[in-house]
Amino acid sequence: MKLLLLGGTGTISSGVTAVARQRGIELYILTRRQRAICDEVPADVKQLVADYTDDESTIKALGDLHFDCVIDFIINRCGGIERATRIWQGRTDQYIYISSASAYYKPLPSPFVTEETPLGNPYWEYSRNKIRSEEELRRAIDKGFPGVIVRPSLTYSDFRLLTSFTPKNSSWGIFSRMLEGKPLPVQGDGLSLWTITHCTDFAKGILGLAGNRAAIGEAFHITSDEVLTWNQIYECLGAAVGVAKPNLYHVACDRIIEYNPKYAGILLGDHANSVIFDNSKIKRFVPDFKCEIPFAVGAKRIADWYRAHPEAQIGDPEWEKEMDAICKL
Instruction: List, for residues 63-105, the tens digit of each pLDDT value.
Output: 999 999 999 998 876 568 998 999 999 999 999 999 999 999 9
pTM of the entire predicted model: 0.95
Looking at the structure, tell me whether residues 190 and 264 fall in a common domain: yes
For the chain, the domain total comes to 2
Looking at the structure, tell me whether residues 187 and 121 fall in a common domain: no
Looking at the structure, tell me whether residues 218 and 252 fall in a common domain: no
C-alpha dihedral, 110 to 111 to 114 to 116, nearest 10°: 30
Looking at the structure, tell me whether residues 173 and 316 fall in a common domain: yes
CB of 72 within 8 A of CB of 98?
Answer: yes
Helices assigned H by DSSP within the chain: 13-22, 55-62, 81-88, 125-142, 172-179, 199-209, 230-240, 253-259, 263-266, 280-285, 295-308, 317-327
Which residues constitute the domain of residue 301?
158-195+226-275+293-327
Looking at the structure, tell me whether residues 213 and 311 fall in a common domain: no
- The confidence score (pLDDT) of residue 78 equals 56
Looking at the structure, tell me whether residues 82 and 135 fall in a common domain: yes
The DSSP-derived string for 105-158 is: -SS-S-SEE-TTSPB--TT-HHHHHHHHHHHHHHHHHHTT--EEEEEE-SEEBT
The DSSP-derived string for 18-29 is: HHHHHTT-EEEE
Looking at the structure, tell me whether residues 185 and 128 fall in a common domain: no
Q: Looking at the domain assignment, is residue 185 inside a domain?
A: yes
Q: Looking at the domain assignment, is residue 92 inside a domain?
A: yes
Looking at the structure, tell me whether residues 189 and 72 fall in a common domain: no
Give the residue among 233, 232, 230, 207 at the shortest CA–CA distance from 285: 207
- The confidence score (pLDDT) of residue 79 equals 60
- The confidence score (pLDDT) of residue 137 equals 96
Here the CATH number for the domain that contains residue 298 is: 3.90.25.10
Q: Looking at the domain assignment, is residue 283 inside a domain?
A: no
User: For 132-151, what is each residue's pLDDT tens digit?
Assistant: 999 999 999 999 999 999 99
CB of 320 within 8 A of CB of 314?
Answer: no
Here the CATH number for the domain that contains residue 16 is: 3.40.50.720
pLDDT lower than 50: segments of the chain: 35-39
